[in-house]
Amino acid sequence: MADSKKTRGKADRAKVSASEAYEVNYFAKKNKISAAKTKELIKKYKGDRKKMEAALKTKKKKTKKKKKAAKRK
């Protein structure tokens, strides 16, 4: 689990723990989002790091498309 400092490895890296401030802050800084937004993602995706990052990528792509469309007008 992500909350065990003694156990490391694939299972530990696959999750982001909302109860560990350093994990929340690291994920937020890495993805350029707020800690509050990170906690929302943790709740929505149950801490699954891959799903959270995929959701952020999808959102960024949509935002870029909207900006390009706005420039064309």
What confidence tens digit (pLDDT) does each residue in 32-65 have? 999 999 999 999 999 999 999 999 998 877 777 7
Whether 22 has a pLDDT exceeding 80, the answer reads yes
Find out whether 42 and 52 touch, Cβ atoms under 8 Å: yes
Confidence class for position 73, pLDDT limits 50, 70, 90: low
Q: What is the pLDDT of residue 9?
A: 66
Extract long-range pairs of 61-66: CB within 8 Å, 24+ residues apart.
none
Where helices occur in the chain by DSSP H, the ranges are 10-13, 21-31, 35-45, 49-72
